[in-house]
Amino acid sequence: MRITMIGSGYVGLVSGACFSDFGHDVICVDKDAGKIAALEAGKMPIFEPGLDTLVAANVAAGRLKFTTDLKAAVAGADAVFIAVGTPSRRGDGHADLTYVFAATREIAEAIDGPVVIVTKSTVPVGTGDKVEEILKELAGDFPIAVVSNPEFLREGAAIGDFKRPDRIVIGTEDARAQQVMRDVYRPLYLNESPILFTGRRTSELIKYAANAFLATKITFINEIADLCEAVGANVQDVSRGIGLDNRIGSKFLHAGPGYGGSCFPKDTLALLKTAEDYETPVRIVEAVVQVNDTRKRAMGRKVITALGGDAKGKTVAVLGLTFKPNTDDMRDAPSLAIVQSLLDAGAAVRAHDPEGMEIAKGMMPEIAYCHDAYEAAAGADAVVIVTEWDIYRALDLKRLAGTMAAPVMVDLRNVYRASDVEKAGFAYSSIGR
C-alpha cells in the first residue's frame, strides 16, 4: 500500500516508521523543512527509544521517505493520514484545528484519484464531518472517504505501543474505507490486535474519553495521596491494594506531581469545551482539570516547606524536567510550574535532565543546567526529583548529600525508600507516604 503521513512529529514519524516496517510504502511530509532535512540526514527530531534504528532500516529498505512536497506525496496514495498538531487554542482551551484544516485544504488540492483520508490527530467530535466538507468542496469528484483513527501510543514507549496496541479504533461506516484500513493494519490484524470499527463521531470521542479517564485515574490517586499524608497511610500500598482488583487495574495509580505532557492537559480541556458546546457538562473532568492545575503549584509549596518555609536566597536542584522519562517532550511538563513557583519564591534553580535540557533551555532560560545529578546538587539546599528517569533511581545518596549545602530531598515520584535516604543523612519527604 502507499501511505502518506502529513505531519512528521511524534505521532506522524512513529506511525510512518512503523507502517513502513509492516512493509507499506510510506512517505512522511512536514512543512518544517529543517525537520525533513534532519530526517533525510538520519537525525531524529525527537528522542524516542528505538526510533533512529527503525527509521534507518526502513529508509535503507526504500520503504520510508521524507519530503516537504505535500502535493507530490498525496498523488497516488491509497491512504493519507493527518497527524498534525492540535494544541489548545489560546484563551479558551478549544482544540486549535487550524493545522488540521490547512492540511485538509492542501490535501484536497493534491488528490488525483480515489483515496481514504484518515485523521490520526486527536480532534473533537465533528471534525471529520468538517474535513469531509472541505474535501467535497475542493477536491473534485473522486471517491473520498474520511476516517477517524485516533492514536493511543505513549511517548517513551511509542514503537512498542504502535506495534502491539491494546486496540485499534477505526471510525467509518464506509465499506471501502474499512477495507483500506484493514489492509493498512493487516499485520496487526494477523497478530490479533483487537480492531474496533465504529462510527466516526464515536471514534473521535473514544480518544478524548480515554485520555480524560486516565487523567482522572491519576488525579484520583493524587488526592488519595494527600489524604494518606493527612491520616498517616501509605499511598503506594493503597495503590497496590486497589490496583490488584481487576476492575480497577494497577496502571496510572502512581501518585506524583500532577499529569502533564502534550496530550492530557489539552485533551481534557478540549473535552470540556465539547461538553460545554453541547450543554452536557462532564463535571468529573472539570474537577480533574482544576485539581491537577492546583496540584502543580502545590508541589512548589511542598519544596518550600521542605526548605523550612522560605526559599529566598536558597538553591534547589531539580532532577528531571520532561513530563515523563524516555522522552525529550517538555510540553506542559509539571517541572515548568514547579520551577516557576521556586523562582517566584526567590530560589535559584539548578537542573539536570538526560534528554530534555536542550528544549528546556528555550523555555526556562533563567535556570542553570548541569551535567548530572551530582553537579546539580552541588551547594544546593534541597534536591527535588520531578521526573523518574532510571538514572535517578540508584543515585549514590551519600555522595549526593555530601555535595549539598543542606541534605534535603523532596521525592515527587516516590523513587526512594525513606529509610535508605535518611540513612544517607537526608531530611526526606515524598508523596502520600
List interacting residues with ligand NAD (CB under 6 A): 6-12, 29-32, 35, 70, 83-86, 99, 102-103, 106, 121-122, 151, 153, 155, 262-263
Instruction: Quote the CA–CA distance of 288 and 295 in Å, as a whole number.
Output: 10
The smaller minimum CB distance to ligand NAD, of residues 330 and 408, is found at 330
**Beta-carbon neighbour count of residue 237 at 10 Å?**
12
Instruction: Quote the CA–CA distance of 267 and 171 in Å, as a whole number.
Output: 19
C-alpha cell read off for 283: 463535571
Give the SS3 label for residue 305: helix
Instruction: List phi, psi (to 5°) of 208.
Output: -70, -40
64-67 and 195-198 as β-strands: parallel, antiparallel, unpaired? unpaired
From the CB of 12, what's the least distance to ligand NAD, in Å? 6
C-alpha cell read off for 32: 518544517
The smaller minimum CB distance to ligand NAD, of residues 66 and 426, is found at 66
> Is residue 323 within 8 Å of residue 329, measured between CB atoms?
yes
From the CB of 155, what's the least distance to ligand NAD, in Å? 4
DSSP assigned state of 414: -
From the CB of 386, what's the least distance to ligand NAD, in Å? 19
Give the SS3 label for residue 381: coil
**Could you tell me the end-to-end alpha-carbon distance of the chain, in angstroms, rounded to an integer?**
53
> Is residue 161 within 8 Å of residue 251, measured between CB atoms?
no
From the CB of 44, what's the least distance to ligand NAD, in Å? 12
Instruction: Quote the CA–CA distance of 353 and 373 in Å, as a whole number.
Output: 8
C-alpha cell read off for 66: 521524507
Rounded (5°) CA angle 57-86-203: 85
263 noted as active-site residue = yes
Rg over CA atoms, the chain: 23
From the CB of 164, what's the least distance to ligand NAD, in Å? 16
Instruction: Quote the CA–CA distance of 351 and 319 in Å, as a whole number.
Output: 6
Buried b / exposed e over 259-271, threshold 16 CB at 10 Å, is: bbbbbbbbbbbbb
From the CB of 83, what's the least distance to ligand NAD, in Å? 5
- Which residues are catalytic, by number? 263
